[in-house]
Amino acid sequence: MDQVRNVSALFDAAPVNITVSVAKQSSGSGSVSSAIAGLACDNTCSSSQASVAPGTVVSLTATPASGSSFGGWSGPCSGTGTCSFTASASGSNSVQASFVPAAASPAVLSQGRSLTNLAAAAGVSAYYQFTVPQWATRVSVRTSGGTGDSNLYVGIGQVPTTTANACASTVSGNQATCNFDAEHSQSTVYFVRLDALSTYSGVTLDVSWQEAPMLTVRKVGIGQGTISHEQVSCTSTCTYTKMLNSITTLLATPAAGSTFKGWGGACASAGTNNTCTVTADQAKEVTANFFDPKKMAALMGVITLLLDD
């Protein structure tokens, strides 16, 4: 080589692994299994972690021990099924699994039936459940009275944890309130968890809900026609459950040979306009009057014959 030459080499940086962790938040017992080495956590461990490459799909399965039930995931997963997520250098890779003591017959709450004189030692979690009718809207769960200090958590469709819940109230003492919208999925059960931060006694727990306003629509008069809204038609008397303060527009359509004579009830101010708007701030009734001149003439003829006799 008779002259100086510069030579360079480029090397890609080795991919940096990231840490995925599993922690158990529980007053019950259970295990978390995974195909990733080091990530499984048996009944005796409280947490585990493993180093994986970014983009690795992490799959976790929770199995409650005898006498416990699985309350759900939090972190990058939720619900109670298999937890599956992709490890990311920028996202959350820390999963929490909650196991709770299985309650064979949890106390059942209902509107108008308070549970009174509740007591528990510090560190104990008590569980309750309730359902609401299809016409319920806003739900309220409350604790009151007694001594000590408790925290209130509510879960919809699954047992709540301190981090995965529909509502949490952690005010000091026993004056907690949880307000939330009702969910009307099939067979929805609401679960209540009451944690004793310190020993409490004499506490009252109750639940209540607002009733969805009922809108009743009636066809009146000797004519025929339909009262429709939201692609639903009514030709006689119909009752609808409405969301609180929702607005419904009703349309009156006379049948052939009939005419629309006007609205009554909550729509009386609309007069003979064929549309009427109703706000569901309370239970309301609306009437729509249809008139058929031929039927009226026939009816008058019958009356005349009767009078002539």
- Predicted confidence at residue 207, as pLDDT, reads 93
Residues 6+ apart with CB under 8 A from 12: none
Evaluate whether 180 touches 157 at the Cβ level (below 8 Å): no
- Predicted confidence at residue 138, as pLDDT, reads 83
Residues 272 and 202 in one domain: no
Residues 51 and 87 in one domain: yes
Residues 119 and 92 in one domain: no
Question: Scanning the structure block, which residue is given the tokens 């929490």?
Answer: 96
Evaluate whether 194 touches 126 at the Cβ level (below 8 Å): yes
Residue 279 placed within a domain: yes
- Predicted confidence at residue 46, as pLDDT, reads 87
Residue 308 placed within a domain: no
pLDDT by residue for the chain (309 residues), tens only, comes to 566 666 555 545 455 677 878 888 766 788 999 999 889 999 888 889 888 888 899 999 999 888 788 878 888 888 788 999 998 888 788 898 888 776 555 788 888 788 999 998 888 889 999 988 877 778 999 999 999 999 999 998 888 888 888 899 989 999 999 998 887 665 578 899 999 999 999 999 999 988 778 888 999 998 999 999 886 788 888 888 777 778 899 999 999 999 999 999 999 999 999 999 999 888 899 999 999 988 876 666 555 555 555
Structure tokens at 265: 């009830």
Structure tokens at 180: 């939330």
Task: Determine the Cα–Cα distance for residues 281 and 284; give it in Å rounded to an integer.
Answer: 9
CATH code where residue 186 lies: 2.60.120.380
Burial status of residue 105 (CB atoms within 10 A of its CB: 0-12, 13-18, 19 or more): exposed
Residues 249 and 225 in one domain: yes
- Predicted confidence at residue 9, as pLDDT, reads 55
Helix (H), strand (E) at residue 238: strand 237-241
Which residue range forms the structural domain that includes residue 133?
111-211
Asked which of 81, 101, 121 is the last residue of a domain, the reply is: 101
Rg (CA), the chain: 32
Beta bridge partners of 191: 129, 155
- Predicted confidence at residue 80, as pLDDT, reads 81
Residues 125 and 93 in one domain: no
Residue 171 placed within a domain: yes
Beta bridge partners of 264: 287
Evaluate whether 198 touches 121 at the Cβ level (below 8 Å): no
Domain count, the chain: 3
Residues 6+ apart with CB under 8 A from 215: 239, 240, 241, 242, 248, 278, 280, 283, 284, 285, 286
- Give the per-residue SS3 of 200-237: EEEEEEEEEEEECCEEEEEEECCCCEEEEECCEEECCE
